[in-house]
Amino acid sequence: MDLTSHHRSLFEKPGVHSLPQLYQLGLGVYHSDKWRELSSYLRWELKHKLGLFPANQYLRFTDHAPLLLDSATDCPESFLVSPAVAVNKASLAWRLLIETSRTFQCGCLFSDASGLYISTDSGQSATLHYRFTHPIQSVFVSNEGYVFVCSDGKLLRSIDRGKSFTEVLALSSPNSYFLENNGMTELPDGRLLIGEYGVVRHRHSWQNLAYIYYSTDRGATWQTSDFLIRDGVNKHVHLVKYSLYLNSLFLTDGDNKKQVWLNRTLTQLGQPANNHGDGWHRLNQTHYQQGGYLSMAELNGRVFLGSDYLGGTNFIVSTTDGERFQKQIIPDPYRRSPVMNMLTRRTNTGQTELWAVLHNSITSSTRSLLMFSSDGGQTWTRVIDYDGTRHEIKLVSASPKLIDQVHFAIITKAGNQFKQSVFRASTRRL
């Protein structure tokens, strides 16, 4: 993703003047070992342009017209998405909001990225419980209520709901953390896993952060595995997440190989699969078979995975058994936008929704999108269609469970300044 962003002018206005940039991109592909990804990009591009993808494989949208957010527009404080879903400006500008139950949420604010705040009313109000010396990068709450915070490349644990913290793990760089909502998970027996993420550049190569950490004592101590690095992964871990439906663990890596792994036995958490089937099984043998997913959610017996092919062709892939995968191709003008995050919501009437954000910051011609599906991913309703070079939408809410409200932030660039507004999507009151 970073290599594509660095050479964004190639995607904005390609031409003869782009030849030096093309040469530099070629060097970048060589040094970062991304030739596999380039090959896949070209094959997908040709299939799309020549109409070789079956029409029924493209993701389908409803007729609802989305709110358009461009360079000179601001989001209204409230608007209807559909007859059943309303969006309103949130009372607090949450930067992260971990929703474990209706009576306990925690996170940090855009105005105070170093403070951990606790809410007991679904994020409407909050109280400061703890202040860190550096900004909070990600947060996770275990089933026992232990709070884990990544800050300054360290993992800290609280066993008293955020009143005090102890450092339990040092990651491999001060810029390391786990991806919110996707990079830390808990097994039914209380074991915890983390996939290390970060972007650290040293001249022509990345610092390799592709470590897995796992704990068997509820996060008090941690063991480290470098099996992904030994397998040739060159950068970081995107996703490690437990699937309740499959009783299995998913793991994805980036940047050069973009693989997807499955651990069905929930054993040998730091090793590839052995002859007895314990450990991590690689599901894709080539890059073109797709992997390296950036986001994951579960709904109605199906696991959904979102791709990370900035500037290429993106997909939402789903499975009910971890063996057969159904793919939906993101259509233009959103096709080049990775699926950054996904969440599930339960409405007041008991219906379920799958929310996703597609974001592309390299060119205005490729649109970015906040969307949701109320029929298990068969069709999607577009909520906000926006220019990703001027705005960014992030899902602020994080939870492995169905939540009542989806909080999201709209971050707008104005010169060298950034303006943040937070909204919540909930069931419309009739």
pLDDT in tens, 99-121: 988 889 999 999 999 999 999 99
pLDDT at 13: 54
Q: Is the pLDDT of residue 19 over 60?
A: no
Do residues 145 and 111 lie in contact, with contact meaning Cβ atoms separated by under 8 Å? no
State the average pLDDT over residues 198-224: 93
pLDDT band at 33 (very low <50, low <70, confident <90, very high): low
Please give the structure tokens belonging to residue 188. 């039914």
Q: Quote the mean pLDDT of the chain.
A: 90
- Assess whether the previous peptide bond of 333 is cis (omega < 30° from 0): yes
Tell me the angle at which helices 35-49 and 19-31 cross, rounded to the nearest 10 degrees.
130
Q: How many CB atoms lie within 10 A of CB 330?
A: 24
Is the CB of residue 384 less than 8 Å from the CB of residue 393? yes
Work out the pLDDT band at 413, boundaries 50, 70, 90: confident
pLDDT band at 361 (very low <50, low <70, confident <90, very high): very high
Top pLDDT among 419 and 37 is at 419
Residue 267 or residue 284, greater confidence: 267
**Residue 241 scores a pLDDT above 50:** yes
Angle at 398 between CA 338 and CA 321, to 5 degrees: 65
In angstroms, how far apart are the furthest CA atoms of the chain?
A: 61
- 256 band by pLDDT with thresholds 50, 70 and 90: confident
Position with higher pLDDT, 23 vs 317: 317
The third-level CATH classification (topology) of the domain covering 32-427 is Methylamine Dehydrogenase; Chain H (2.130.10)
Give mean pLDDT, residues 157-164.
97
Amino acid type, 190? G
The band of 31, judged by pLDDT with boundaries at 50, 70 and 90, is very low
Local confidence band at 14 (pLDDT 50, 70, 90 cut-offs) = low
Residues of the chain with pLDDT > 90: what percent?
Answer: 76
- Does 21 score more than 90 pLDDT? no
pLDDT, position 9 = 52
Instruction: Tell me the mean pLDDT in the region 303-309.
Output: 97
Whether residue 425 is predicted with pLDDT greater than 60 in this model: the reply is yes
pTM: 0.91
Lowest mean pLDDT among 10-14, 107-111, 161-165: 10-14
Cα–Cα distance, 408 to 341 (Å, whole number): 11
Q: What is the spatial distance between Cα 88 and Cα 26, in angstroms, rounded to a whole number?
A: 46
